[in-house]
Structure 1
Amino acid sequence: MKPASHHVTHCKGCRAPICWALTTANGRRQPVDATPSAEGNLAVTQGADGLLYVRSLTKAHPEPRPSEWQAMPHHATCPSPPPRRSSGGGQRSRSGVRRAPWQGLQG
């Protein structure tokens, strides 16, 4: 099975045909190669809402279902991936205490 042509776009880095799909695990967008691949570790399907959804193929479910097609994540095949963004989870430096007006107890 192949994705519908209206789902196919092109990678900004390498211009390869890709599709954007929502992960079933957390609903985040993930680029996948538009060309089905027998070596792929993802199963992609079109939902009733017309959107593409992707799930990982695992040992428990190693084969795609009849309505799914097998694909590779585009990050694994792109020859010119975009630079990684920082997750923002690191330590931030602090340079002192921000002063605030004193608000005493009112009784």
Structure 2
Amino acid sequence: MKPSTAHITICRRCSARICWALTTANGKRQPVDAEPSAKGNLAVMQGPDGVLYVRSITAARPDTRPGEWQAMPHHATCISPPPRRSSSGQRTRAGVRPAPQRWQP
């Protein structure tokens, strides 16, 4: 099964076709490749409310259920590098600021 065209959008970094799905574990949004993949480690299904839901394929539940399709997380297949972030979140100083002169009479 494939996702409907209403769920498909384009990745801003690599222009690939993706779908946004809610994780069943914590309800966070996760980008998933729109094309089904036999190598994927996610099972995606459309819920009765029309929203896509995604769960991990694990050793405990290795097979997909009826109505699910196997997909790859888009973070694993995106060809564009992730945005760079500073390690501490603070700006580094580019130079030394001169101290004000103090005149003494």
Smaller-chain TM-score range? 0.7 to 0.9
Find out whether 1:69 has 2:69 as its counterpart: yes
Tell which structure's C-alpha radius of gyration is larger. Answer: 2
Runs of 4+ in 1 over 4 A off after TM superposition: none
Check the 8 A contact 1:32/1:72 in 2, yes or no.
yes
Other-structure match for 1:79: 79
Residues 12-54 of structure 1: CA distance to partner in whole angstroms, max 9, x if unpaired? 0110000000000000000000000000000000001100000
Identity among equivalent pairs (%): 74
1:3 and 1:21 mapped to 2: Cα distance? 11
1:10 and 1:53 mapped to 2: Cα distance? 18
| Displacement of 1:82 | 3.1
**Structure 1: gaps (5+ residues):** 91-107
Other-structure match for 2:12: 12
Other-structure match for 2:27: 27
- Structure 2-normalised TM-score? 0.78
- Structure 1-normalised TM-score? 0.77
Q: Give the superposed CA RMSD.
A: 1.8
**Structure 2: gaps (5+ residues):** 89-105
Aligned residue pairs total: 88
